[in-house]
Amino acid sequence: MKTNNNLSPPLITAALFFLIASVSCLAQRGYEYENFGNRSVLLNGNVTGSVNDLGAVYYNPARLALIKNPGFLVQGKFYEWNRITIDELVPDERFQTSNFTGIPGMIAGSFDMFNTRFYYSSISRNRLNLSLGFNSGVVSNEDDPQITPGNQLNLKVDINNRLREDWFGLTWAYKVHDGFALGASLFASYYTYSGGDGTRLIQDVNQDEVNIYESNLRFSQSSYGLYFKIAAAWIFEKWELGVNIDLPYLEIFGQGKFNFDEILATNTTLDDLFIYEDLNDLESTQKTPLSINVGAGIPIKNHRIHLNLSWYAPTGTYDRIEIPSLGGSTGEEASLAFQEKRRSIINFGAGGEIELTPKLDTYLSFSTDFSPLKEADEVLGSADGIGVSNLLAFDNYHFGGGFNWKFNRADVVFGAIFTTGVQEFNSVRDRPIDALLPTEETFKIGINRWRFLVGLNLSLRDLFGEKLNEQQ
């Protein structure tokens, strides 16, 4: 396919970046991008060996047999502010977008059946709803000297990503003796991920001729399955230890959809292109590998240090959505692969719990969240087809802090978590306008996230008049 050299390279470069970023990266997060519970959130999940609220159903089920009066947990609604910045994409320019939204958290409680205590939980495991748009307006030689005088163009780009994952769990814990317990959690999961991009480029060229390029790509993936957690917890004289093993995701049912259309109409009919595909009921695969988490809690007088180390296994290359060959009505054919490969990673973190007064504790924490996906580990496209879309695989760093205010029948937990990540990016989508792209360019993309939390820990037994046990 040919291109007209009157196109504006900075403009097209910006457009293609947004296309790349939207389709294959923004909904792909690290394993520890989300945390659950109340204190556990402010400690950035560094509680495998020391969790002391019902966040244990997620971090270490065995701890529930060692916690006195774990009560009923309502994770307060998160309020989240996100900002994405792109530097050096166009010389001396910064692109950025931000949004503020509220997201749900976690609810957990307990019940007795067959003389055994069980714990239930509902967890909003992942949430993302991102839409971006770009419209260049009419661009002429006055805006960009590389455009031939008398010619003009317009570019529109839209992208979107939506991710939702919900877990519904049942947990059991057994105290082997006073300082040792075993536990397990079973979660039923529903996962849905959709995204896409749209591009329209209209170019008014010499002699009142018009070139039009338009493409729209949309996909969705849904998965139903089970997650299993097996855990052990120890309490020693001067410290506490916990081990939590997450077994690989057991997918019961998965399905994908894919829609793609691409049109190129030029003043030379040999260059024209028309492809349209609308595919449903495609085979799809969702994978989460084996992981092992080890944590320790070290009390120092009325304070406590929390330490955590996590290992995640790799996966081989697999098709997230199996997309058949695409055929165009003008005879063109394109092959598209939607594949993923996850690498082995190790994350670590630490937190501090400081007693300011008998009624008020404060928390500080830090943790890494390295991406299991590196550039080209996830591919949407192929070099001889629609194109290759390399992943923006951010290594994130989380910082947390907050307070726990103790009342007679409940604890109020509030605080904030800051997440930051920066990556250099160098890639293009294979489009009819590639010839003008500076493929050696390197851009910097940054993500900043603030989350604000207010949560409640309470004991329903105490509210109904039963004797309150001392809470750890």
The set of residues, in sequence order, having a beta carbon less than 8 Å from that of 115 and lying 6+ positions away, is none
Q: Return the domain boundaries, the chain.
A: 9-463
- Taking the C-alpha atoms of residue 457 and residue 75, their distance in angstroms, rounded to an integer, is 8
Q: What are the residues facing 138 on neighbouring strands?
A: none
pTM score over 0.85: no
The residue written with tokens 């997060």 in the block is 29
Residue carrying the six token digits 């830090």: 366
Q: What is the pLDDT of residue 426?
A: 56
Cα–Cα distance, 333 to 384 (Å, whole number)? 10
Question: What is the DSSP secondary structure assignment for residue 460, as one 8-state letter?
Answer: H
* Contact between residue 453 and residue 416 where contact means Cβ atoms under 8 Å apart: yes
Mind listing the pLDDT tens digit for each residue in 170-217? 999 999 999 999 999 999 999 999 988 888 888 887 666 788 888 888
Query: How far is CA 456 from each of CA 269, 433, 453, rounded to the nearest angstrom?
Result: 66, 55, 10
From residue 246, alpha-carbon distances to 187, 291, 442 in Å are 11, 5, 37
Residue 30: predicted pLDDT = 82
pLDDT score at 327: 62
* Stretches in the chain below the pLDDT threshold 50: 1-26, 329-330, 376-391, 427-440, 466-472
**Mean of the per-residue pLDDT values for the chain?**
79
CA dihedral sign of residues 198, 338, 384, 434? positive
Q: How far is residue 335's CA from residue 19's CA, in Å, rounded to a whole number?
A: 18
CA distance 362 to 415: 9
- From CA 158, how far away is CA 131, in angstroms rounded? 7
Domain covering 9-463: architecture: Beta Barrel (2.40)
8 A C-beta contact, residue 62 and residue 231: yes
**pLDDT on residue 89:** 58
Strands laid side by side in the 338-340 sheet? 318-321, 338-340, 379-380
What pLDDT does residue 282 have? 93
Cα separation, 84 vs 377, in Å, equals 22
